[in-house]
Structure 1
Amino acid sequence: MLNEFKEFIAKGNVMDMAVGIIIGAAFTAIVTSLVGDLINPLIALFTGGIDFSGWFYSLDGETYASLSTAQEAGAPVFAIGNFIMAVINFLIVAFVVFMLVKTVNRVKAAAEKEPEVKEEAPKGPSEIDVLLEIRDALAKQKAS
């Protein structure tokens, strides 16, 4: 059983998956920063200062100054702004993955494509062709 486990771990697919998970975790931090530090301020600029992360609805009927205050009070809340930010994060990640897969597929297709054999334009008769014509012409002259 230990040998089977070693074989399983040594397979390329498991190693590729592990690398993908590690890169994905690092990529998540980058996307979170991109959305929080760059995209949110742009959205707020175009929407008149609206900050999605502060959008919430308290289900207990109480009014709270902020989402963190409501959560500290233990109130049940719909954190609508957090959901919107998660959707934006997802769309960004999905777009980047799409572009990455598209690029990889393009590179794969280019690598698999057979090199085109360029046909050289005829340069005219070769020396051998000219010599054969001369021989044939001489043979005709002798025969006549």
Structure 2
Amino acid sequence: MSFFGEFKAFAMKGNVIDLAVGIVIGAAFGKIVNSLVEAIIMPIVGILIGKVDFKGLMIKVGDAEIKYGMFIQSIVEFVIIAFAIFLVVKAINRMNKKEEPAPAEPVLSTQEKLLIEIRDELKKK
């Protein structure tokens, strides 16, 4: 098989295509969460802790600006994304959970059956 034939076989495997779709959806989901955090959650958090705009929080060191407010916002975004992914994975696992069949009764030999009968008779006495 030629190099390009091998590459085509690799690229067309289901896992590679699923991964590509996951990356695209993940990027779009990240943008949605980013918008949610920036436009809704962080302003509410800012109001609750004293009208703080997290994007504006920074420390100036010489000419450099250490924007720790943007870092806090990124942490909040990460926590929300991680929680959402956790919920999705948990739901998928719940749907994929297969009921385990009840264990089959063991097949007993004639000797084992006789021993069980003897045991039961001895219990009665």
User: What TM-score, normalized by structure 2, do the two folds share?
Assistant: 0.76
For each residue in 1:84-116, what CA deviation from the matched residue of structure 2 results, as whole angstroms up to 9, or x when unmatched?
00100000000000000100000000xx22588
Task: Quote the sequence identity (%).
Answer: 43
| Larger RCO, structure (CA 8 Å, separation 6 or more) | 1
For each residue in 1:38-90, what CA deviation from the matched residue of structure 2 results, as whole angstroms up to 9, or x when unmatched?
10121022112111111111121xxxxxxxxxxxxxx3221100100010000
> Unmatched 5+ residue regions in structure 1?
61-74, 117-144
For each residue in 1:1-47, what CA deviation from the matched residue of structure 2 results, as whole angstroms up to 9, or x when unmatched?
00000001011110011000100110011001110111012102211
The aligned length equals: 100
> Unmatched 5+ residue regions in structure 2?
103-125
1:13-24 aligned at under 5 Å gives the runs 13-24=15-26
Aligned position for 2:81: 93
Distance in 2 between residues matched to 1:84 and 1:41, nearest whole Å: 13
Aligned position for 2:64: 76
1:42-53 aligned at under 5 Å gives the runs 42-53=44-55
Distance in 2 between residues matched to 1:32 and 1:76, nearest whole Å: 25
Aligned position for 2:14: 12
- State which structure, 1 or 2, has the greater radius of gyration over its C-alpha atoms: 1
Pair 1:108 & 2:62 matched: no
Cα RMSD for the two superposed structures: 1.4
